[in-house]
Structure 1
Amino acid sequence: MTKKILLTGYIGRENFGDDLLLKIALDNIKKIKNNEVYCIVPETVDALYLLQYYPKIKIIRYKKTIPVFFYKSFDKVYFIGGGVFFDYGKEINTKNYFKRKISNYLRYNIPKLLGTKYAGIGIGIGPFINKRSQSIYQSMLKNFDFLGVRDQKSYEYGKLFDLKKVYLANDLSLLLRNELTALKRSKTACSVIICPRSYKHYKPYEKHLEVLMKFSEHLLEKQYQVNWCFFQSEEEKIMEKLESKGILSTVWNPYKMTIMDFVSLFKNASIVFTSRMHMVYVAGLLGINTVSIRVDPKLEYAARLFNRKPKILDPLTNLEEYIGCLGSKFEFDDEKFEREYNSVISVSEKMKDWLAK
């Protein structure tokens, strides 16, 4: 009997980190026989590049919200990873609280009673600013057969929500270990990659973009090669500033490049400065010294996987702190990495077993 599997998450938005997670999810599914694979995306995104990853995938589009009872059309709903369960809202009034609780019951509980099963790995849970948000997501996540989470804070939320099967297993990008370590590298001594992100959740953290711009000017004066790599299209103002200063930049474009094409652009860097979590993982797998800019706790968690004494900068810090990192010594923690890598393999196998049932 053919199973209908729905992939859901931050899919089709041309974001490198999430496209990487989609690739890993599809690698899992390709090994399962007798299935039809679907994904759901907003109607505002093109998303046709997904067919390059898996020509058989069927793309479903929705307008404003996912329809009520939508999930009951599928045997399995597979949350592919990423920070998909969070709420930065400061408060939820009583009317909206009960409206969202009822909505979750109709979208998750009823389909589950009718046979739909839910699971997810590589998931980030939180942050939540208020307890009502926690209650809303707790009632949703209790419908999952199991949940693999990517960091300690997410694991704490899983335990707080009293989820029966929650596993701490780091980020799924570790599954690219063999592919990335197979890349031939020729480290360039004066090559610096800067991979930032805007952070509109907390405006003061946008300061790190301004400081990185000044840092890039400093590097160019010292004859460094500098390339800004963006995981998705950023504000035009940033791109215009870079162009006016003669700073190279590259934007992930899934229509024109593969995952490995993009990674190859920075494989020879001597050091990476980033506020993108998945860049910490990719750079670590490539053995590149990395400085993490902590716009979110997940960056510190990722950095501590690879280095015994990782370099972690506050996004509000000054230019001198960035310059001071250039001569730093990094000590890779091979023992911890192997332990974490094996835990990711274990949870990935649980997902394959769940998909095959």
Structure 2
Amino acid sequence: MRKKNIVIEGAYGESNFGDDALLKVIYRELKDFLELKNYEVTICSKMTSLKYPVVDLCDEKVVTPKNNIDWTKVDSVIYGGGTQFYSFENEKSKLSIIKHYLTNPKELYSRLTRRQNESELEKHFVGVGIGPFEGKNKIEDFEYVLSDNKSLFVRDLVSYSYAEKLKLNNVKLYTDICFLENYSHLHRTRKFTKKVAIILRDWNHNSNNVRPQDLEHVVSQLLEKNIEVEYVLFGHDIQLEQELKARDLDYISYDLNLSSFDDFIKNLASYDLIVTSRYHGLIYGLLLGIPSIVINIEPKLS
């Protein structure tokens, strides 16, 4: 009897802490269940190669670059958390998208075969985010993916309202799947260190972004009280990193090539306060029992 082939899909493999955290949780929670049900599990990665060190997150043998997946042989898809359906104002033009696919025929073939087999796939959505839709694409443009689902668990009220707008089946309000983590042992060992983490990001989708210079006054007040301030980058935020270097400001970056996932978590646990414009900065502040302040730059932080 042929094993059923199930793909777990997300924005994995882009050196982003939040997406890696989602991968770690979804793989751990589903691995034993899917193997028991005789599924062949594949993690669909956005990587174009297998150089990304996923050993901290899942079994690297099941990770496959997105373009390598033969969608004609896939039976089921699990969308494993994160904002996967959205549209922003400054999206790529249609011409640039066409040029991209013409220079990447393997990716084009993968996308076309996926679209052709969409109606045949058994689809489950676990703790996903839907929206916003501020660009050319609207929620209706994603109906072909979201419809005919077996289960649709959304992580927030905004996502739920979009799902309701499309009158989708099987919609349930859930939460971010990273809340399945338990770091209570770090609560007990954490000592007050007079350290504050500021988690910012590159964000060019609207005018709400906050840069280091916008926080100069607040940071100065903290330093006057002998409170250490450290910037934390959750991904490859190139513009932000350049600004921090130019201002000679202390920062650390999430990078699995330099340290493990667990070591990064332990470092986060060392702060007394987290100020964040990253969604998973707030989630992990809560998980670690650290008071957190949100800088609201996008709807999912509202």
Classify the TM-score, shorter chain. Answer: 0.7 to 0.9
Partner of 1:262: 264
Q: Which runs of 5+ in 2 are unaligned?
A: 98-109
**Residue 122 of structure 1 contacts residue 169 of structure 1 at CA under 8 Å; is this kept in 2?**
yes
The residue that corresponds to 2:8 in the other structure is 7
In 2: Cα distance, 1:166 partner to 1:225 partner: 45
Conserved? CA contact 2:26–2:177, under 8 Å: no
| Deviation for aligned residue 1:242 | 3.0
Instruction: Report the counterpart of residue 229 of structure 1 in structure 2.
Output: 232
Q: For residues 131 and 54 of structure 1, do their structure 2 counterparts lie closer, same or farther at Cα, with a shift above 3 Å needed?
A: closer
Q: Give 2:30's aligned amino acid.
A: I
Partner amino acid for 1:191?
A: K
Distance 1:131 1:71, change over 3 A: same
Q: Does 1:112 align with 2:113?
A: no
State yes or no: 1:272 paired with 2:279.
Answer: no
Give the aligned partner of residue 145 of structure 1. Answer: 150
In the alignment, the residues of structure 2 paired with residue 242 and residue 104 of structure 1 have an alpha-carbon distance, to the nearest angstrom, of 38
| Counterpart residue number, 2:129 | 124
Partner of 2:22: 21
SS state at 1:174 partner = helix
Check whether the contact 1:9–1:79 (CA below 8 A) recurs between aligned residues: yes
Q: 1:38: which partner in 2?
A: 42
**What's the counterpart of residue 50 of structure 1?**
54
Of the three residues 285, 289, 292, the one matched with 1:290 is 292
- Cα distance change of structure 1 residues 144 and 89 upon mapping to structure 2, 3 Å threshold: farther
Q: Which of 213, 218, 221 is 1:215 aligned to?
A: 218
Distance in 2, Cα, partners of 1:50 & 1:121: 21
Where does residue 186 of structure 1 map in the other structure?
Answer: 190
Q: Distance in 1 between matches of 2:130 and 2:22?
A: 16
CA contact (8 A) 1:13 1:47 kept: no
Q: CA deviation at 1:136?
A: 1.2
Once the two structures are aligned, what percentage of the paired residues are identical? 27
Q: Aligned with 2:175: secondary structure?
A: coil
CA RMSD of aligned residues (A): 2.9
TM-score (norm 2): 0.82
**1:73 partner amino acid:** K
TM-score by length of 1: 0.70
Between the two proteins, the alignment pairs up a number of residues equal to 282
Aligned partner of 2:80: which letter?
Answer: I
Shift of 1:159: 0.8
Q: How does 1:323-342 map to 2 (within 5 A)?
A: none
Letter paired with 1:223: N
Secondary structure, aligned partner of 2:190: coil
Q: Secondary structure at the match of 2:268?
A: coil
Of the structure 1 ranges 13-22 and 132-141, higher mean CA displacement relative to structure 2 is found in 132-141
Query: How far has the Cα of 1:266 moved from its partner?
Result: 2.3
What secondary structure sits across from 1:80 in the alignment? strand
Does structure 2 retain, via aligned residues, the 8 Å contact 1:40–1:62?
yes
Structure 1 stretches of at least 4 aligned residues deviating more than 6 Å after TM superposition = 90-93, 103-106
What does 1:62-141 align with in structure 2 at a 5 Å threshold?
62=66, 70-89=70-89, 107-108=114-115, 110-113=117-120, 116-129=121-134, 133-141=138-146
2:198 equivalent to 1:197: no
Asked whether the 8 Å contact 1:149–1:155 carries over to 2, the reply is: yes
1:72 Cα deviation after fit: 3.0
Q: How far apart are the structure 2 equivalents of 1:135 and 1:242?
A: 40
Is the counterpart of residue 238 in structure 1 residue 245 in structure 2?
no
Q: Structure 1 pair 163/82, CA: closer, same or farther in 2 (3 Å)?
A: same
Amino acid of the structure 2 residue aligned with 1:232: G
Q: 1:157 aligns with which of 159, 162, 186?
A: 162
Q: Which runs of 5+ in 1 are unaligned?
A: 97-102, 301-357
Q: Is the 8 A contact 1:39 1:57 kept in 2?
A: no
Quote the offset at 1:158 in angstroms. Answer: 0.7
What is the alpha-carbon distance in structure 2 between the residues aligned to residue 130 and residue 88 of structure 1? Answer: 4
Pair 1:78–1:90, CA change in 2 (3 A): same
Q: Determine the C-alpha separation between the residues in 2 that align with 1:196 and 1:130.
A: 23
For residues 142 and 48 of structure 2, the distance between their equivalents in structure 1, rounded to whole angstroms, comes to 26
How far residue 120 of structure 1 moved from its aligned partner, in angstroms, is: 1.4
Give 1:83's aligned amino acid. Answer: T
Q: Which residue does 2:101 correspond to in 1?
A: none
What residue identity is the alignment partner of 2:237? E
Tell me, in whole angstroms, the C-alpha distance in 1 between the residues paired with 2:137 and 2:208: 26
